[in-house]
């Protein structure tokens, strides 16, 4: 139970009035209003009646410091709660079904692609299942929209806010799965390893996560009436999540997937290295492959010996590398993709993944640790807020 002064203040604030405005309405001074609200005085009986009529409460309510709920109002409140709970529970049940269908779509996509070694088949079935889940969710939302017509505006806004966010999350998951399906189909007619599947999935959900957060803020900028205002803390947390999902892509793009993989000694990277003094022929062979990869086959200036059926490439320093057709064919199979060569030393890197596959692998390697740190920070943040609130209320007492 509040004091009379606190109750009068809450009633005034609920009407959006200042002390000066209320004082003018009652034809008293604003100091008088301040005294009432600080329990330093009480309004006269005639003024109490005016206040009770204006605030739509009883004089008894003002004296008690709280608004008593009549039995009829209590029954109406309980009935409203029952209706709202029934509507929300029904919505949640069908939403869970839609989420279950989304999970089934991803499982069917992977399993069918692996069993049949035809990623396109898995992708097709997965997309159909995703579409079914979205259709069920759209029917669920439309049915709820029809049911909330007769409930209070406040309850309606709360329900619609919940429906908006859950539907948006499902839409994000579905679009991310569609993106994953397209990436999964890149390995068509081949069985992908578990690591390759996880890389594609992490890459798809990460990039779609960035898009989803940006799109979310655009929709919030449209000021949809039933959406609650975001706090500064939520803005900060969402911004950090965007950075976590986006920065690894920027780092990989700037440094290059192969160069970054070499620096961190990725498991799919191997190399051969030769010192000019110890392995002169292999050193020049590696240097020849570097020149060939940078200039192209058509720009390589050979000297062909028809009698011995050999090709000779002469380097700037005069060294001649002589290759038979068998040697040339073998060198093509070495598949060096990055070279690090100076005047005395040469190293050639061979990498098992394509640049795009390496990009996905690096992304899924960099993001999870950052998300783990982010999750820990969020838990600590909300824990501190939870601890501070009781302490602040105790200080106010």
> How much is the pLDDT for 396?
47
Max mean pLDDT range (75-84, 293-302, 351-360): 351-360
- Residue 27, sorted as left (phi over 0), alpha (psi -120 to 50) or beta, turns out to be left
In whole angstroms, give the CA distance from residue 201 to residue 181. 9
> How much is the pLDDT for 55?
85
Query: Is 194's pLDDT higher than 90?
Result: no
CB within 8 A of 205, min separation 6: which ones? 176, 180
pTM: 0.66
pLDDT in tens, 70-111: 555 555 566 667 778 888 999 999 999 999 999 999 998 888
Residue 231: CB atoms within 10 Å: 9
> How much is the pLDDT for 391?
56
CB within 8 A of 87, min separation 6: which ones? 144, 147, 148, 151, 159
Choice among 129-138, 185-194, 346-355, 361-370 with the minimum mean pLDDT: 185-194
In whole angstroms, give the CA distance from residue 80 to residue 60. 26
* DSSP code for 343: S
> How much is the pLDDT for 397?
46
pLDDT in tens, 222-267: 777 778 777 788 888 888 999 999 999 999 999 999 999 999 999 9
Query: Is 174's pLDDT higher than 90?
Result: yes
Query: Is 203's pLDDT higher than 70?
Result: yes
CB 129 within 8 A of CB 122: no
The structure tokens listed for 183 are 């990436």
Q: How many CA atoms lie within 13 A of 171 on its CB side?
A: 13
Query: Given the structure tokens 């007769």, which residue do they identify?
Result: 150
User: In 3-state terms, what secondary structure has residue 313?
Assistant: strand
> How much is the pLDDT for 276?
92
CB 31 within 8 A of CB 66: no
In whole angstroms, give the CA distance from residue 182 to residue 286. 37
**Residue length of the chain:** 397
The structure tokens listed for 397 are 């007492």
> How much is the pLDDT for 295?
76
Query: Is 2's pLDDT higher than 70?
Result: no
The structure tokens listed for 63 are 């004296």
CA dihedral sign, ordered 260, 248, 371, 97 = negative
The structure tokens listed for 375 are 């999750």
Query: Is 195's pLDDT higher than 50?
Result: yes
Q: What is the mean pLDDT of the chain?
A: 85
CB 129 within 8 A of CB 101: yes
Domains in the chain, ordered, with CATH? 4-64 (1.10.260.40), 72-229 (no CATH), 269-351 (no CATH)
């Amino acid at each position: 139970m509040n004091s009379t002064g606190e109750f009068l203040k809450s009633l005034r604030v609920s009407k959006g009035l200042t002390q000066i405005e209320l004082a003018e309405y009652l034809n008293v001074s604003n100091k008088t209003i301040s005294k009432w609200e600080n329990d330093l005085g009480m309004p006269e009986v005639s003024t109490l009646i005016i206040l009770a009529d204006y605030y739509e409460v009883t004089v008894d309510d003002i004296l008690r410091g709280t608004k008593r709920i009549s039995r009829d109002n209590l029954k109406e409140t309980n009935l409203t709660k029952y209706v709202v709970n029934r509507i929300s529970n029904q919505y949640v049940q069908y939403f869970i079904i839609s989420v279950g269908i989304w999970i089934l779509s991803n499982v069917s996509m992977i399993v069918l692609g692996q069993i049949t070694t035809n990623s396109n088949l898995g992708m097709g079935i997965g997309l159909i299942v995703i579409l079914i889940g979205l259709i069920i969710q759209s029917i669920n939302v439309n049915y709820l929209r029809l049911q909330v017509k007769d409930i209070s505006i406040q309850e309606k806004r709360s329900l619609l806010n919940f429906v908006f966010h859950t539907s948006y999350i499902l839409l994000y998951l579905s679009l991310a799965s569609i993106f994953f399906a397209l990436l999964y189909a890149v390995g068509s007619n081949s069985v992908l390893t578990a690591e390759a599947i996880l890389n594609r999935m992490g890459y798809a959900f990460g990039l779609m996560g960035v898009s989803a957060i940006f799109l979310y803020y655009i929709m919030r900028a449209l000021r949809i009436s039933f959406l609650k205002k975001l706090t500064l803390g939520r803005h900060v947390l969402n911004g950090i999540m965007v950075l976590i999902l986006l920065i690894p892509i920027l780092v990989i793009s700037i440094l290059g997937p192969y160069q970054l993989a070499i620096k961190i000694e990725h498991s799919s990277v191997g190399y051969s290295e030769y010192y000019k003094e110890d392995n002169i022929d292999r050193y020049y062979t590696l240097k020849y492959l570097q020149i060939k990869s940078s200039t192209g086959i058509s720009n390589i200036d050979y000297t062909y010996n028809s009698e011995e059926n050999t090709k000779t490439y002469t380097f700037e320093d005069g060294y001649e590398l002589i290759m038979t057709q068998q040697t040339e064919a073998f060198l093509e199979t070495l598949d060096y993709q990055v070279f690090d060569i100076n005047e005395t030393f040469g190293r050639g890197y061979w990498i098992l993944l394509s640049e795009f596959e390496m990009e996905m692998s690096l992304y899924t390697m960099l993001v999870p640790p950052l998300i783990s740190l982010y999750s820990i920070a969020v838990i600590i943040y909300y824990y501190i807020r939870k601890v501070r609130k009781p302490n602040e209320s105790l200080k106010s007492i």
